[in-house]
Amino acid sequence: MSWTGKILRVNLTEGTVAAEPLNMQWAQQYLGQRGLASKYLLEETDPKCDPLGPDNKMIMATGPLTGTMAATGGRYSVVTKSPLTNCIACSNSGGFIGAEMKHAGWDMIIFEGCSPTPVYLYIENDQAELVDASEIWGTSVWHTDEWLHNKYQDPLLRISAVGRSAESGCLYAAIINDLHRAAGRSGVGTVMASKNLKAVAVRGTLGVGNIKQPERFMQVVNENKAILAANPVTGQGLPAYGTQVLMNVINEIGALPAKNMQEVQFDGAHDISGEAMHEPRKSDGKPNLTTNAACFGCTIACGRISTIAQGHFTVENKAKYWGNSGGLEYEAAWALGADTEINDLDALTYANFLCNEDGYDPITFGSTVAAAMELYEMGVITDAQTGGVAFNFGSAEALAKAAEWVATGEGFGKDLALGSKRLCEKYGHPELSMTVKGQEFPAYDPRGIQGIGLNYATSNRGACHVRGYTIASEVLGVPVKTDPLVSEGKPDLVKAFQDATAAVDSSGLCLFTTFAWDMTNIAPQIDAACEGEWTAEKLVELGERVWNMERQYNMQAGITRADDTLPERLKSEEGAARTGPAKGKFSEVEKMLPEYYEKRGWNEDGAPTDETLNRLGL
């Protein structure tokens, strides 16, 4: 049946761990991972709760295909209430720990309460215990990982952990697993640290052996692996260049936000692109990129493994950064580079290493640095705040310092750790924060790509590309090409992408498969593995159900129509794109929003109607 049918419930206040059966009726309605964990969160917590208080819960959830041989079947999600957005947070990660949880026999781990002292959770198959973490509290993710591996003398232990940024209250702290994969967005790591939970270490040797129709499963898995291999994006572009394949493409169409989104193109884009990562460095003659790398079971392998030149100013005399580690993905390279107008690839890689070492989201971090740079150039933030560091756009030195400060929560890092919304409010310029619902934008400009702007405005976790990646259609032509510059037809497109994504995120598979697969590829894999009948139609409806449930959570948390919007800079003539193919364009989000609500079956205040809720069984 592919679910293990077991949940591990960890009460951190009481220090207890207990197994309980998975609600299989909910599994049929919400599948797993994002959908099923969100259902548990909505049922078990008050959406008005303090995200950093003991009443918030944090759920680590696998999908039914996690841990199987289905290509990319290694995903897990962290679902909780976000301290950055006060909305529902759902951050999805690859690497290996999701599959390990499943192989240890658990569909999900629910953390509740708050431990009086720092602890970590150790799981070995059906045995689980909370262990004193005082020796690793106050240390980085990388140190914690090494310490746990040494303690247990087990190289096969898989570890998720939070770093010093989370402990010091950075509102966009991530949970890092396997050293450089991240449940990255919305501050899920901040929630974990607020519970005094330092790490989760898992060893699973039971595997997944309860596939419903094993022979059929292997057949459809193999057919769909072949489709990924034959597709130009998943078979060639992503393995060769990673998501960084997009840097030059998006810059050329004039949709690469730059200089805290004042501009839509960046002169230095090529210097920080996927192509540049392959080119020999002037400094040491080696390319930034060593190799590509896969997450568990993934036949795409978009991950980047990189080095920084040993003589680079960021790592001089710091040998621990001289080896290989997780390199730049597109969103990180954009936020750390284009949005700050820094074209030093190794400096961005250094900041990226620090984001992994101490666990914080490079998108929100880079965007917050960009906002601070704009405030610095306006004279609002001065050397008094930055400790004498010139915080101008284009300064790789400023970026490196900022990354070090946020990692440990020191100095100006305390301001930067607030995220751009609270930082800009603190300095009296809320209009300079490029956020929706308090979360920073990723790397696609809503002036030059209209559909993605509507997706940002309506995303249930604040500005986010992986809630409805209309870039696939508007830029790459998957499944059909639509014109990025027009808003007509986009509400339908956004809804379709959002619903399909919610289903994929509930399955254990990676969203990147959908460059090559649609629901008719995914449904048979779930159907062959899982109890019940799983069709493409059922999955689409399930995705819509999940989307509406998240919306219900957010509305109960206090979100209104007024929050479904974009910053003035992006939707006004004054902020219109100044160069490139989108010159003169601004986001038509306000025009698209009423039609989007209508397509969703929501009233004009953005609330799902009774009819919609009934139709979806909510």
Partner 1 sequence: MQKALLIDPDKCTGCLQCELACSYEHEGVFNPSKSRIRVFTFHQEGRFVPYTCTQCSEAWCQQACPVDAITLNADTGAKEVSDSACVGCKVCTIACPFGTVNYNQVTGKVIKCDLCGGDPKCVSACPTQAIVYVDADQTGYEKMRQWAKETDNNPAASA
Closest approach of partner 1 to the CB of residue 295, in Å: 7
The verdict on 323 binding partner 1 (CB under 8 A) reads yes
CA angle 557/176/241 to nearest 5° reads 105
Q: Tokens 């101490």 correspond to what residue?
A: 358
The verdict on 530 binding partner 1 (CB under 8 A) reads no
Closest approach of partner 1 to the CB of residue 597, in Å: 42
Closest approach of partner 1 to the CB of residue 228, in Å: 8
User: Is there a contact between 19 and 48 (Cβ–Cβ < 8 Å)?
Assistant: no
Q: How far apart are CA 612 and CA 58, in angstroms?
A: 28
The verdict on 288 binding partner 1 (CB under 8 A) reads no
Closest approach of partner 1 to the CB of residue 82, in Å: 31
In the chain, how long is the greatest CA-to-CA distance?
67
What is the size of the binding site for partner 1 (CB under 8 A)? 39
Q: Tokens 């570890």 correspond to what residue?
A: 159
Q: How far apart are CA 26 and CA 39, in angstroms?
A: 8
User: Is there a contact between 359 and 173 (Cβ–Cβ < 8 Å)?
Assistant: yes
The verdict on 305 binding partner 1 (CB under 8 A) reads yes
Of 223-231, 275-283, 540-548, 558-566, the window that binds partner 1 (rule: CB under 8 A) is 223-231
Reported as type and span, the H/E element at residue 439 is strand 439-440
Closest approach of partner 1 to the CB of residue 203, in Å: 9
Q: How far apart are CA 518 and CA 51, in angstroms?
A: 35
User: Closer CB to partner 1, residue 156 or residue 378?
Assistant: 156
CA 532 from centre of chain:
30
Closest approach of partner 1 to the CB of residue 155, in Å: 9
The one among 57, 75, 103, 461 contacting partner 1 by CB under 8 A: 103
User: Closer CB to partner 1, residue 294 or residue 589?
Assistant: 294
Of 195, 117, 128, 90, which Cα lies nearest the Cα of 460?
A: 90
The verdict on 229 binding partner 1 (CB under 8 A) reads yes
* Bond into 594 cis (ω within 30): no
Other C-beta atoms lying within 10 Å of the C-beta of residue 51:
24
Of 401, 299, 278, which Cα lies nearest the Cα of 74?
A: 299
* Touching partner 1, residues 139-178 (CB under 8 A): 156
The verdict on 205 binding partner 1 (CB under 8 A) reads yes
User: Closer CB to partner 1, residue 74 or residue 448?
Assistant: 74
Amino acid identity at 270: H
Of 204-212, 394-402, 427-435, 466-474, the window that binds partner 1 (rule: CB under 8 A) is 204-212
The one among 49, 52, 301, 380 contacting partner 1 by CB under 8 A: 301
User: Closer CB to partner 1, residue 73 or residue 462?
Assistant: 73
Binding mask 53-82 for partner 1 (x = CB under 8 A): --------------xxx-x-----------
The verdict on 206 binding partner 1 (CB under 8 A) reads yes
The one among 297, 359, 448, 491 contacting partner 1 by CB under 8 A: 297
- Classify the C-alpha dihedral 541-511-253-182 as positive or negative: positive
Other C-beta atoms lying within 10 Å of the C-beta of residue 151:
14
C-alpha distances in Å from residue 279, one per residue of 29, 288, 528:
48, 7, 44
Q: How far apart are CA 421 and CA 99, in angstroms?
A: 36
Of 442, 366, 374, which Cα lies nearest the Cα of 403?
A: 366
The one among 216, 225, 414, 583 contacting partner 1 by CB under 8 A: 225
Closest approach of partner 1 to the CB of residue 211, in Å: 8
Of 218-226, 401-409, 433-441, 535-543, the window that binds partner 1 (rule: CB under 8 A) is 218-226
- Classify the C-alpha dihedral 27-28-32-35 as positive or negative: negative
The verdict on 179 binding partner 1 (CB under 8 A) reads yes
The verdict on 387 binding partner 1 (CB under 8 A) reads no
Q: Which residues bind partner 1 (CB under 8 A)?
A: 67-69, 71, 96, 103, 156, 179, 204-209, 214, 218, 222, 225, 228-229, 239, 290-299, 301, 303, 305-307, 323-325
